[in-house]
Structure 1
């Protein structure tokens, strides 16, 4: 794929605290915290997860003019070649998670349809009480599986959708609400899958009535480099969870999956611009911290406490790589 005739259209900084005022060229200020606060600025994205270690804030900036506002339930900020959009669904609507998720994804799909030449390349999904109803029937009433169904209902309406799926993360939070925020770009990028893993959209029936609709990663090429946007990645080999009950071995397997994605994206020389480690609870972080520090010594890591989408997974890592 030939690089587009523009340089990387953003800068990403990680901070310990959010700035009190956002500059005119700010696209998004993503704030992770145990409690969220109301904020009218559409560029502030509040993620309700406790921070166990590292920088809690991501600040995305651009040199171009930024237009921001609201369209229906969507808050957005749009630069010349990159945009962010967020949509929050309250807990009352999430009593029917499939319908609420489908409605949210339909709104976001329509948002991009109104912007010719823009592509949805990354999404983050934070799902309150993600494992609720997991014990019912064969598990298909679990809130996460119902979320997967609602997302699939919308994205599968477009023929050949599996070849254009965004990278994604889905993590459970406290409370009942759903937060979806997305990254859009003026190019679709290249979808990357992992030969060590069955593609998520090809998972067998045992994981739910529909397979999850996301790609393992997307590569975006710019005139002055490339980005590898890696989905939330865990200790999954083939389609099965590897090393259930052993957080340290799951960490090492996860890192091997990330190494494979780097190789398949064309180089081993990617540097990490942002790395997030999600752990099921603080005790898991305490147990794997020495290994993390030895295997990722130069990485500025944000560690967040949140439920992983499979109950037998202790942790998950997402990363933005650049070269």
Structure 2
């Protein structure tokens, strides 16, 4: 049964479904679909190997529209688009074979890992497709790959991913500091590098959190390339205003806090989300962005921590706020959980 009401919005809507709805092309008005579950398998739905917590079976993340949809491929990239928004997905399956260290045990920039190469390849393909299709502005990107905290080739795989991603941004003259898209990067059980995204013809407004150092300004201790994402993004489409909150965790300044305490990390994460909502309200000159206006995807590193995380969220979020829990590794080994959130509000018509 659906986890959320599913009225079709004029342009774009997001739903989390717990029943098998089939591949994207089988669902009327489907723009894109991503399945979260215990294992990945080769189907036309992008499948992310992250077990769902708190319920039986997989969860389908479904993006829908009542606008005409056109689909196509460019190399490994699959896309579907309306006149205003584009959903794309790409997977490079062989990055899991990146094991071992180079001679001497150190990272060699002249011999990039498979994951680093794949990350650059994926983002170059995404940017090329957006330019050719006429949707130049990334709104939100989701990145998943296995072993995110594992050291291979002399460096943690998350840091390798950041190098490849930013190198692509640089080569294509894309903003990788201010005005970078909202994004997240999570560790899966298998499946290679899997990326999906939303893009549009008009740029979003990047939102930062004054409690945190912007990720793209992190100090050198977090790797030779900083993460290329904004804390959140506001996107205005026809009749809609979307808020995409990036993967948010228990970080103050640039440091992880509350090590080993999953409840305290969850509380801190909610404080960061509340600040982002305040920043979004300030930017949009509204008070409408609230915790109740969002849908939440909650990543929990250890399944044993699920009940603790859920109890904190149940105490702070209204019962009607949709939340989906999956087991996934967070980009820092000392972070036990992370939350992303997405919301859509109607844009008042002129004169109303």
TM-score, structure 1 as length reference: 0.90
2:125 matches 1:124: no
- Tell me how far apart the structure 2 counterparts of residues 277 and 233 of structure 1 sit (CA, whole Å): 10
> In 2, are the aligned partners of 1:219 and 1:226 still within 8 Å (CA)?
yes
C-alpha distance 276-67 of structure 1, shift in aligned 2 (>3 A) = same
- Tell me how far apart the structure 1 counterparts of residues 199 and 135 of structure 2 sit (CA, whole Å): 10
- CA displacement at 1:23 relative to structure 2: 2.8
- CA displacement at 1:94 relative to structure 2: 5.8
SS of equivalent residue, structure 2 residue 326 = strand
Pairing 1:66-77 to 2, within 5 Å after superposition: 66-77=69-80
Correspondence for 1:291 among 284, 309, 312: 312
2:53 equivalent in structure 1 = 52
C-alpha distance 175-225 of structure 1, shift in aligned 2 (>3 A) = closer
- CA displacement at 1:268 relative to structure 2: 4.5
Q: What CA RMSD, in Å, does the superposition of the two structures yield over aligned residues?
A: 2.0
C-alpha distance 117-13 of structure 1, shift in aligned 2 (>3 A) = closer
2:37 matches 1:36: no
C-alpha distance 161-284 of structure 1, shift in aligned 2 (>3 A) = same
Correspondence for 2:13 among 11, 23, 31: 11
- Tell me how far apart the structure 2 counterparts of residues 223 and 78 of structure 1 sit (CA, whole Å): 14
Structure ranking higher on relative contact order (CA contacts 8 Å, 6+ apart): 1
Correspondence for 1:152 among 166, 171, 174: 166
> In 2, are the aligned partners of 1:18 and 1:29 still within 8 Å (CA)?
no
1:313 equivalent in structure 2 = 335
C-alpha deviations, 1:30-85, integer Å up to 9, x for none? 2111112222x4xx222211000368122211111111122100011111211111
- Tell me how far apart the structure 2 counterparts of residues 33 and 195 of structure 1 sit (CA, whole Å): 35
1:3 equivalent in structure 2 = none
Q: Which runs of 5+ in 2 are unaligned?
A: 1-8, 99-113, 346-352
Correspondence for 1:245 among 260, 269, 274: 260
> In 2, are the aligned partners of 1:272 and 1:319 still within 8 Å (CA)?
no
Q: Which runs of 4+ in 1 moved over 6 A?
A: none
2:22 matches 1:20: yes
- Tell me how far apart the structure 1 counterparts of residues 90 and 175 of structure 2 sit (CA, whole Å): 25
Count residues in correspondence: 310
- Tell me how far apart the structure 1 counterparts of residues 75 and 37 of structure 2 sit (CA, whole Å): 26
SS of equivalent residue, structure 2 residue 298 = strand
2:276 equivalent in structure 1 = 261
2:301 matches 1:280: yes
